[in-house]
C-alpha cells in the first residue's frame, strides 16, 4: 500500500513533525501552500485565521502535483487554528475526495487541544483510523520523538 503525507505548516512546527514522519515511513509528502501566502505577522494571521475558520473559507491552493489515485493511505497534518484544522487543509479536503483512502491524521497546537478537528473531518466523510496530537510551546515540542515514532509504527 502506497502512502502520502499531506500537510500544511505556517510556523514550521507541523513541517518538522511531517518530515520526521516521512523519514520513518519512507512515504511521499505533499506540502500544501495557499496561492496567496499568509502574512509573516503572526498576530495578523491569528485574526485572519479566526475569520476564515468562522466563515468556512477555503483559500485557493497552489497547484498540487500529485495523483491521489496512486495512494491507499493518506496522512493529514495540520496546525489547529481556532479549534479545528487550518483553512488550507479545509481547501484540500473540500476539493479532493479521500473517501476510499485509509486516513491518519496529526495535529500540532499551542497547548489548547484538538478542539473539534476530528468531528470536522467527519464532515468530509472521513473516518480517521488513528491520530496524534503534538503540542508545542512556541517552537518547543512538548512530547518525545518516540511518541511520533510509535504513531508511525501504527501506520506501517
CATH superfamily of 3-155: Flavodoxin domain (3.40.50.360)
Q: What angle do CA 139, 52, 137 make, to 5 degrees?
A: 15
Helix (H) or strand (E) holding 115: none
Q: What is the mean pLDDT of residues 83-108?
A: 97
First to last CA, the chain: 9
Phi, psi of 117 (to 5 degrees): -60, -40
What per-residue confidence (pLDDT) applies to 70? 96
- Read off the pTM: 0.96
Cell 487541544, residue located: 113
Model confidence over 21-67: pLDDT tens digits? 999 999 999 999 999 999 999 889 989 999 999 999 999 999 998 99
Contact between residue 83 and residue 115 where contact means Cβ atoms under 8 Å apart: yes
Helix (H) or strand (E) holding 139: none
Model confidence over 63-86: pLDDT tens digits? 998 999 999 999 999 999 999 999
For residue 75, with 0-12 CB atoms within 10 Å meaning exposed, 13-18 middle and 19 or more buried, which class applies? buried
pLDDT exceeds cutoff 90 at 8 = yes
Amino acid at each position: 500500500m502506497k502512502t502520502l503525507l499531506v500537510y500544511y505548516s505556517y510556523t514550521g512546527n507541523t513541517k518538522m513533525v511531517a518530515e520526521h514522519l516521512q523519514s520513518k515511513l519512507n512515504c511521499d509528502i505533499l506540502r500544501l501552500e495557499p496561492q496567496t501566502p499568509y502574512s509573516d505577522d503572526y498576530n495578523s494571521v491569528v485574526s485572519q485565521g479566526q475569520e476564515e475558520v468562522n466563515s468556512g473559507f477555503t483559500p485557493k491552493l497552489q497547484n498540487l502535483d500529485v495523483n491521489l489515485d496512486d495512494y491507499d493511505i493518506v496522512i493529514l497534518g495540520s496546525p489547529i487554528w481556532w479549534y479545528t484544522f487550518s483553512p488550507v487543509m479545509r481547501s484540500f479536503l473540500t476539493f479532493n475526495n479521500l473517501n476510499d483512502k485509509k486516513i491518519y491524521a496529526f495535529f500540532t497546537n499551542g497547548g489548547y487541544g484538538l478542539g473539534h478537528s476530528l468531528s470536522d473531518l467527519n464532515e468530509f466523510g472521513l473516518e480517521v483510523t488513528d491520530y496524534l496530537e503534538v503540542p508545542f510551546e512556541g517552537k518547543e515540542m512538548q512530547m518525545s520523538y518516540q511518541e511520533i515514532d510509535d504513531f508511525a509504527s501504527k501506520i506501517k
